[in-house]
């Protein structure tokens, strides 16, 4: 009788240590931070990074900058600013939030260069506006919104052009 329990106890201990194989998928996305290597800047709010051996396009969460391709005012400056931050960074990290991918399969993330938020720097310098995207990071979202408001009040960058910034983006002919 005692001999049977001797084998049952280790079996249950072994089972109790087993983890759910889907546990990684259940982990909140906003806790995922990955290291990335800079490849190239596409726009002020978009760049390519090498992530785990694969080059991926990353859309900066909550950001919209004027586009170079559309020849929008300050588009070139936004791209050059982002390029400079990322080229000179020793360490780049991406932090995912609600949806790690957009509808066109681009990765969406908060981007940090040497611990500095690229999104925060773009807003501070008036080179981006906030987009209304869902976020689990309400604390960080509020910080970004306050930074945008300060730049707006100071009329820095995009905020210096009257009626250039709209709820839908940028007026193309400004």
d(CA 62, CA 46): 11
Read off the pTM: 0.77
CATH of domain 23-156: 2.40.50.90
Domain positions in the chain? 23-156
- What pLDDT band is residue 140 in, cutting at 50, 70 and 90? confident
Handedness of CA 59, 62, 68, 71 (dihedral sign): positive
Mean pLDDT, residues 14-42: 58
Residue 14 has pLDDT above 50, yes or no: no
Mean pLDDT, residues 133-138: 77
Spatial CA neighbour of 85 closest among 31, 32, 123: 123
Q: What per-residue confidence (pLDDT) applies to 100?
A: 57
CA dihedral 161, 164, 165, 167 (to 10 degrees): 150
């Amino acid at each position: 009788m005692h001999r049977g329990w001797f084998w049952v106890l280790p079996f249950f201990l072994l089972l109790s240590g087993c983890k759910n194989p889907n546990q990684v998928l259940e982990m909140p996305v906003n806790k995922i931070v990955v290291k990335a290597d800079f490849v190239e800047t596409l726009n002020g709010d978009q760049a390519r990074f090498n992530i785990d051996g694969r080059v991926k396009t990353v859309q900066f969460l909550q950001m919209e900058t004027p586009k170079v391709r559309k020849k929008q005012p300050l588009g070139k400056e936004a791209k050059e600013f982002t390029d400079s931050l990322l080229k000179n960074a020793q360490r780049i990290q991406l932090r995912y939030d609600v949806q790690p991918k957009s509808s066109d399969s681009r990765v969406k993330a908060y981007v940090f260069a040497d611990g500095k938020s690229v999104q925060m720097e773009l807003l501070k310098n008036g080179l981006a506006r906030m987009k209304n995207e869902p976020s689990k990071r309400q604390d960080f979202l509020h910080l970004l919104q306050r930074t945008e408001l300060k730049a707006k009040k100071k009329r820095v960058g995009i905020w210096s052009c009257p009626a250039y910034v709209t709820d839908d983006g940028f007026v193309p002919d400004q």
